[in-house]
A and B are shown apart, each in its own frame.
Chain A
Amino acid sequence: MAEDAPIKEKAPPISLAPKLSPTEWGVKAFFLLCAVSALGSMFLIMVFLFMEAGGLFFMSEEGPGVSLTEFFLSLDWYPTYPDPSYGSLALVLGSLSVTMVSIVLATPFGIGLAIYLSSVAGPKVREWLKPAVELLASIPSVILGFVGMVAVAPFMQNVLDLPTGLNVLNASIFLAIMATPTIASLGDDALSAVSQTVKDGSYALGATRWETISRVMLPASLSGLSTAVILGLGRALGETIVVLMVAGGSAQVPHSLFDSVRPLTSTLAAEMGETAIGSPHYHALFALGALLFVLTLGFNLLAFHLARRWGRSSS
Chain B
Amino acid sequence: MVEGDQVIISAREVDFYYGDFQALKNISIDILKDEVTAMIGPSGCGKSTFLKLLNRMNDFVPGARLAGEIFIGGESIYGPDADPVVIRRRVGMVFQRPNPFAKSIYDNICYGPRLIGIKKTSELDELTEKALRAAALWDEVKDKLNKSALDLSGGQQQRVCIARALALEPDILLMDEPTSALDPIATAKVEEWIKDAGMSIVIVTHNMQQAARISDKTAYFFLGELIEFGPTKELFTRPKETKTENYITGRFG
Contacts and interface: CB of A to CB of B under 8 A. Distances in A.
Q: Do chains A and B touch in the complex (CB under 8 A)?
A: yes
Interface of A: 1-2, 10-18
Chain A, interface SS category? loop
A242 B16 CA distance: 62
Given A1-B28, A2-B13, A14 B66 contact: yes
26 contacts: A1-B1, A1-B28, A2-B13, A2-B28, A10-B13, A10-B15, A10-B67, A11-B67, A12-B67, A13-B15, A13-B16, A13-B17, A13-B65, A13-B66, A14-B65, A14-B67, A14-B78, A15-B64, A16-B56, A16-B58, A16-B59, A16-B61, A16-B64, A16-B66, A17-B59, A18-B60
B84 interface: yes
Contact of B68 (A10, A17, A18): A10
Interface of B: 1, 12-13, 15-17, 28, 56, 58-62, 64-68, 78, 84
Contacts of B15: 10, 13
A271 B68 CA distance: 73
Contacts of B58: 16
Contacts of A11: 67
Contacts of A12: 67
A313 to B, nearest CB: 24
A15 B28 contact: no
A24 to B, nearest CB: 10
Contacts of B13: 2, 10
* B interface secondary structure, majority: strand
A18 B67 contact: no
A18 B84 contact: yes
B28 A16 contact: no
B28 A18 contact: no
B12 A2 contact: yes
Contacts of B17: 13
A85 B58 CA distance: 67
Contact of A17 (B1, B12, B28, B64): B64
A6 B43 CA distance: 35
Nearest to B62: A17
B199 to A, nearest CB: 25
A15 B65 contact: yes
Contacts of B68: 10
Nearest to B58: A16
A15 B61 CA distance: 10
Given A10-B67, A14-B66, A17-B64, 13 more contacts: A2-B12, A10-B15, A12-B67, A13-B17, A13-B65, A14-B65, A15-B64, A15-B65, A16-B58, A16-B61, A17-B59, A18-B60, A18-B84
A17 B17 CA distance: 12
| Top 3 closest pairs, chain A to chain B, by CB | A13-B65, A13-B67, A16-B64
B160 to A, nearest CB: 27
A18 B84 CA distance: 8
Contacts of A14: 65-67, 78
Nearest to A15: B65
Contacts of B64: 15-17
A18 B57 CA distance: 10
Contacts of B66: 13-14, 16
Contacts of B62: 17
A127 to B, nearest CB: 24
A253 B60 CA distance: 61
A15 to B, nearest CB: 5
A64 B115 CA distance: 69
A1 B61 CA distance: 31
A18 B59 contact: yes
Contacts of A13: 15-17, 65-67
A167 to B, nearest CB: 55
Contacts of A17: 59, 62, 64
Nearest to B26: A10
A13 B66 CA distance: 5
Nearest to B60: A18
Contacts of A16: 56, 58-59, 61, 64-66, 78
Nearest to A11: B67
A15 B60 CA distance: 11
B95 to A, nearest CB: 19
A14 B64 CA distance: 8
Select the residue from B28, B56, B59, B62 with max chain A CB neighbours within 10 A. B59
Contacts of A18: 59-60, 84
B2 to A, nearest CB: 9
- A10, A16, A17: which has the most chain B beta carbons within 10 Å? A16
A288 B165 CA distance: 63
A204 B66 CA distance: 50
Nearest to B12: A2
A17 B58 CA distance: 9
A15 B13 CA distance: 16
A16 B56 CA distance: 9
B53 to A, nearest CB: 9
